[in-house]
Amino acid sequence: MRKQFRVFGLLAFVWMFTWANHCFADDGYKLWLSYAKISDRAFAAQYNQQLKQIYFAEGIGSNNVARIELMKGVAAMLQLTPQVTKPGDAGLLIGTQKTLPASVIKTLPAVTHDEGYVIKTITTNNHKQVVIAGKTQTGVLYGVFNFLRLLQTQQPISTLNINEYPRLERRVLNHWDNLNRTVERGYAGASIWNWHKLPGYIEQQYIDYARANASIGINGTVLNNVNANALMLSPEYLVKVKALADAFRPYGIRVYLSVKFSSPIEVGKLKTADPLNSEVRQWWKDKVDEIYKYVPDFGGFLVKANSEGQPGPQAYGRNHADGANMMAEALAPHNGIVMWRAFVYDSNPLNDRAKQAYDEFKPLDGKFADNVIVQVKNGAIDFQPREPFHPLFGAMKKTPLMMEFQITQEYTGFSTHLFYEGPLFKEVLGADTYAEGKGTTVAKVIEKKPHSKAVTGIAGVSNIGTDRNWCGHPFAQSNWYAFGRMAWNPEQSSAQIADDWLRMTFTNNKSFVQPMVQQMLQSRENTVNYMTPLGLHHIMGINTHYGPGPWVNKAERPDWTSVHYHKADSLGIGFDRSSTGSKATSQYAPQVQQMFDNPATCPDSNLLWFHHVSWTYKMRSGKTLWFELVHHYYEGVDSVRRLQTVWNGMQGKVDQEQFNSVKQLIAIQLQEAIRWRDACVLYFQTFSKQPIPAGYEKPAHPLSYYRDQQFHFAPGIGGNI
Ligand code: GCV
C-alpha cells in the first residue's frame, strides 16, 4: 500500500512539474512586452528605490492605459506595487506639460510635437526624481513605454535626459485581411479581426495589439485588404469598424479603411464610379460623413486603383490625381487623408513593369489635393528580398510620398525563414536619391513636407495573424517591432533595434544577445544569397510565391513569369534596364543613373537588376559571373547552417518552448534554402553550360525533380473577399 502511495506521489509530482512548466512556458504571445522578472538584484535596486512612490498628474486616473501599463510592468519586473503619492514625495512623476507642477516643468525642455515626450532625471530638494512628460496623453503613453524599455533592457536611470518625437506623422500598419478572415500574403493564421463577433465582442487580442503598436509608436491601422471588398463601407461593417476604433483610441491608434474604387456602383447602386461625375462625388461625400458619425477620428482611405485588376479612374479616361482628389475632397472637412498607392501595373503589359509607376505618377507631380499622400513601395517591382530604391522617391518633389514596406514575408520565406528586415528598411531609407543634391536620402524625402499642409507617413504590410505567437515565427515579431521603431525614427540603427528586441523578448544575457544580433543582421543577406543574389528578382513559384520557380515561363501576363525577369540565355543573365535596354535607369537622378547604368559602377548587389551580363564577365572579386552566382547560392545555404549552429548553442539561455520553436523553423529554413540553391543553380546551369566548381556539394536531385515538386495549399492566397 505504502509503495503504491509513493508511486502515486511521484507521478503527481511529475505531473505538477510538467503542468507548471507548461503554464509558465513562453509561447510568444507576450511579444516584446513580456516584462520578465529582473533577476539582477543590484540593477533592480536603483529602479526599486526610484519607483516606490509615483505621482500621476491630473488626467492619469486608474483607468489610464499608460498608468495601467506602467504598474503592470513594474509589478512584473520588479515585484513592486508603487505607492501613488504627491509630487514632492514621488520618485517618478508622470503627466503632460500642462498637468505637471510648474516647478517641475521649468526644469524640462519644452515638448513641441503632439506625440513627443521627455524623460528626465532631476534633483529636487536633494533627492532624485524622474519625470515623464508628454505634450499630450499619447505622448505620455509613448514616454511610459520608453521608460519600461529602459527597465527591460537594463539601462541605468540616474542621468536620464531623453527628448523624443516621431519623424513621420502617420505610422500605419496595412492589414491585407479579408472579411472572411483569410489574409492575403499572411502566414500566421487567420485574420485577427473576428468580424462575425464584432461589434459585440472585443477580444483581448485587440487590446494587446493596440498595446504592442503603441509601445513602438505605431499610430494607425488600415483594417482591410487593399484588394478591397466594397461591403466594408456598408453600415453592417461600419458599426464593427467603430467597435475596433473605440478599442484602439486610448492607445493613440486611428483606424483607416482600404476602399474599392467602384464602391459607388457596388454599394451605392450608381451606374458609374467616374471621379468627375457629380453624383459619384456626392456619394463619396455622404459616405464619408456617415463614416465620421461612427468614427469621429477616422484616419482616411487607402486605395489600390488600376492595379492587378482593381478598378480605378483610368476606366473612365481619368488619372490617379482625379481619383484621389475626389476622395480627398470628401475627407478634407473631417481632416481625413487619402493614401493613394503607386503600385500600379494594369493596362498594357509594358516592356518593363518597373517603369510604370514613374510613368503614370511623375506627370501628376503637384496635381494632388493637399490631403493626399502617394504610397510608394520600397522598390519598383514588388517587395523582393533586395530591390534598388523606387525611382519615384527622387522624382515627386511637389507631392508627399509615403513609404510602403512589406513586413509579412511574401518573398522572403513566409514564416519559416529567420529574416530580420531591419537592414532592408535601413538600406532603402538610407539610399541617396540625389533629388536635391547629395544626401537627399529616401528617409529625408519622406520626412519632408513639400507644402505646408502635407502629411508625412510610412506603412508596413502587417505580418500579424491568429497564431499564438502573432507572426508565425518568433523572430518575425522583430520585423513588426523594427518597422515601428524605424517609423518613429528612420535614423535608428538596425543593430540597436535588434539588440533591444532580443533583450525585451528573450533575455539580457550577453552571451545570447551579442551573437544573435549578428545573426539577425546577417539574416537578410543570407536569404538574398540563397534566393535572388546579385540583383536577380521575381523568380519564385507562380501564384503562391512559395519556393523557387526560375523556370516559370507561362502566366496570364508575361510580367508574371520568371523568365521575363532573369532573361537567362546562352550569352548571360539579367534584365537590361540600362540606357541600352529598357532605360529604367533614366528615372533616377543623373548621379544615380550613371552609377546604375554602367556595369563597372553598378553595385554587385544590383548588377542583374540593371544589366544582362555575360556568364564569363569578370566580377569585382575576380571570379566570373557564373562562379560568383554559384558562390552566392552556396554561401546562402552555408550561412543558414552557421545560424543553426549558433541557435543550437542557445539552449538553456532562453525559454525552452521558444528555443524548440526556432530550432524547428531553422531546420525547415535550411531545407528550403538548399532547395532554392539547387533548383536555381541547376536551372541557370542549363544556360551557362558551366560546371558547379569542385569543392561545392552536388545537388541531391536532377533539375526535373525541383521543377516537378508541387506544394498544395500554400498559405497566403487571397484577394477581394
Ligand atoms: C494585395 C503583390 C502581391 C499581392 C498584393 C499586391 C499589392 O502583387 O502578390 O498579393 O495584393 O502585391 O501590393 O497590391
Residue 131: give its domain's CATH number. Answer: 3.30.379.10
Atom of ligand 1 nearest to the CA of 461: 13
Is there a domain that residue 14 lies in? no
CB count in 10 Å sphere of residue 686: 11
Mark which of 145, 164, 183 sits at the end of a domain: 164
Round to the nearest angstrom and report the end-to-end CA distance of the chain. Answer: 65
Q: Are 526 and 640 in contact (CB under 8 A)?
A: yes
Q: What is the pLDDT of residue 506?
A: 97
Q: Is residue 582 part of a domain?
A: no
Which ligand 1 atom minimizes the distance to the CA of 404?
13
Maximum C-alpha span of the chain? 92
Give the residue, out of 185, 187, 406, 412, with the most ligand 1 atoms within 8 A of its beta carbon, to mutate for a pocket test: 185
Whether residue 436 lies in the annotated active site: no
Evaluate whether residue 414 is within a structural domain: yes
Q: Are residues 133 and 194 in the same domain?
A: no
| 328 and 218 in a common domain | yes
| 353 in contact with ligand 1, CB cutoff 6 A | no
Whole-angstrom Cα distance, residue 652 to residue 659? 8
Query: Which amino acid, 551?
Result: W
Q: What is the Å distance from ligand 1's center to 466 Cα?
A: 21
Nearest protein Cα to ligand 1, atom 12:
382
Angstrom distance (rounded) from CA 242 to CA 626 = 57
The CB of 411 under 6 Å from ligand 1? The reply is no
Residue 315 inside a domain? The answer is yes
Q: What is the Å distance from ligand 1's center to 112 Cα?
A: 38
Residue 345 Cβ inside 6 Å of ligand 1? The answer reads no
Pairwise CA distance, residues 104 & 371, whole Å: 38
| Residue 383 beta carbon below 6 angstroms from any ligand 1 atom | no
Question: Which residue has a Cα nearest atom 11 of ligand 1?
Answer: 227
Reduced to 3 states (helix: H, G, I; strand: E, B; else coil), residue 310 is coil
Q: Say yes or no: CB of residue 405 within 6 Å of ligand 1.
A: no
* Whether residue 322 is found in the same domain as residue 427: yes
What is each CA distance from 476 to 188, 414, 504, in whole angstroms? 10, 9, 14
414 lines ligand 1 (CB under 6 A): no
Tell me the β-bridge partners of 84. Answer: 54
Q: Can you read off the three cell numbers belonging to residue 98? A: 500642462
Q: Which three cell numbers stand for residue 130?
A: 524622474
- Any bridge partners for residue 173, and if so which? 221, 460
Q: What is the pLDDT of residue 25?
A: 81
- Nearest CA-CA partner of 253 in 446, 492, 487, 415: 487
**Residue nearest (by alpha carbon) to ligand 1 atom 8:** 382
643 and 707 in contact (C-beta within 8 Å)? no
Q: Are residues 239 and 325 in the same domain?
A: yes
Do 132 and 176 have their domain in common? no
**Owner of C-alpha cell 507576450:** 30
Report how far ligand 1's centroid is from the alpha carbon of 184 (Å): 8
Q: Which atom of ligand 1 lies closest to the CA of 307?
A: 14
d(CA 223, CA 217): 17
Last residue of one domain, picked from the residues 493, 518, 549: 493
With CA atoms as reference, report the closest residue to 322 among 265, 355, 292, 360. 360
Ligand 1 centre and the CA of 187: distance in Å? Answer: 14
What pLDDT, on a 0 to 100 scale, did the predictor assign at position 20?
43
- The answer to whether 506 and 28 have CB atoms below 8 angstroms apart is no
Q: Probe ligand 1: pick from 174, 178, 225, 308, max atoms within 8 Å of CB?
A: 308
Question: Is the CB of residue 182 below 6 angstroms from any atom belonging to ligand 1?
Answer: no
CA of 379 to the centre of ligand 1 (A): 13
For 81, the domain range is 41-164
Any idea what the CATH number is for the domain that residue 675 is in? 3.90.1330.10
Residues 370 and 224 placed together within one structural domain of the fold: yes
Ligand 1 atom closest to Cα of 227? 1
Domain identity same for 463 and 547? no
Considering the domain architecture, whether residues 227 and 153 belong to the same structural domain is answered as no
Ligand 1 near 540 CB (within 6 A): no
Question: Is 628 a residue of the active site?
Answer: no
Rounded Cα–Cα distance for residues 330 and 295 (Å): 15
Helix (H) or strand (E) holding 406: strand 401-406
Rounded to 10 deg, the angle between the 235-248 and 204-215 helix axes is: 50
What local confidence, expressed as pLDDT, does residue 151 receive?
Answer: 97
Distance 66 CA to ligand 1 centre (A): 37
Q: 717 C-alpha to center of ligand 1: Å?
A: 10
- Among 164, 169, 352, 410, the one annotated catalytic: 410
Shared domain for 121 and 244, answered yes or no, is: no
Together in a domain, 157 and 192: no
Q: Answer whether 227 contacts ligand 1 (Cβ < 6 A).
A: yes
Preceding amide of 199 cis, omega within 30: yes
What local confidence, expressed as pLDDT, does residue 9 receive? Answer: 56
> Do 372 and 458 share a domain, yes or no?
yes
> Would residue 590 count as lying in a domain?
no
Can 604 be counted among the known catalytic residues?
no
- Residue 690 CA to ligand 1 center (angstroms) comes to 36
Determine phi and psi for 134, rounding to 5 degrees. Answer: -110, 165
Note the pLDDT of residue 18: 45
The answer to the question of residue 35 being in a domain is no
Q: Tell me which of 174, 176, 378 to substitute to probe ligand 1's pocket, judged by most ligand atoms within 8 Å of the beta carbon.
A: 176
226 and 121 share one domain = no
The series of mean pLDDT values per 10 residues for the chain, 721 residues long, is 54 47 74 96 94 97 98 98 96 97 96 98 94 98 98 95 98 98 97 98 98 98 98 98 98 98 97 98 98 98 96 97 98 98 78 94 98 98 98 98 98 98 98 98 98 98 98 98 98 98 98 98 98 98 96 92 97 98 98 98 98 98 98 98 98 97 98 98 98 96 97 82 58
Q: What is the pLDDT of residue 363?
A: 98
Q: CA-CA distance, 91 to 102, in Å (whole number)?
A: 17
Give the separation between CA 166 and CA 142, rounded to whole angstroms: 10
β 457-461/572-573 pair status: unpaired
Query: CB of 559 closer than 6 A to ligand 1?
Result: no
Binding site membership of 343 for ligand 1 (Cβ less than 6 Å): yes
Q: Give the strand pairing for 161-164 and 117-124.
A: antiparallel
Last residue of a domain, one of 141, 164, 187: 164
Residue 184 CA: which ligand 1 atom is closest?
Answer: 10
- What pLDDT, on a 0 to 100 scale, did the predictor assign at position 348? 65
The residues, ordered by sequence, that sit 6+ positions from 232 with a Cβ below 8 Å of its Cβ are 179, 223, 224, 241, 257, 258, 259, 260
Alpha helices in 199-311 (DSSP H): 204-215, 235-248, 263-266, 278-294
Q: Going by C-beta distance under 8 Å and a sequence separation of 6 or more, which residues neighbour residue 159?
A: 121
In a domain, 243, yes or no: yes
- Residues 246, 571: Cα–Cα separation, whole Å: 61
For the domain that residue 205 is a member of, what is the CATH number?
3.20.20.80
Q: How many domains does the chain have?
A: 3
The amino acid occupying position 223 is L
Residue 602 is classified by DSSP as: S
> Which of 307, 341, 378, 382 is the best mutation target for the ligand 1 pocket, counting ligand atoms within 8 Å of the beta carbon and taking the most?
382
Count of positions (residues) in the chain: 721
Q: With 0-12 CB in 10 A as exposed, 13-18 as middle and 19+ as buried, what is 110?
A: exposed
- Ligand 1 centre distance from Cα of residue 551 (Å): 21
Answer whether residue 10 is part of any domain.
Answer: no
Q: How far is the CA of 695 from the centre of ligand 1 (A)?
A: 40
* pTM of the predicted protein model: 0.96
List the catalytic residue out of 169, 382, 500, 525: 382
Instruction: Supply the pLDDT for residue 688.
Output: 98
Q: How far is the CA of 97 from the centre of ligand 1 (A)?
A: 44
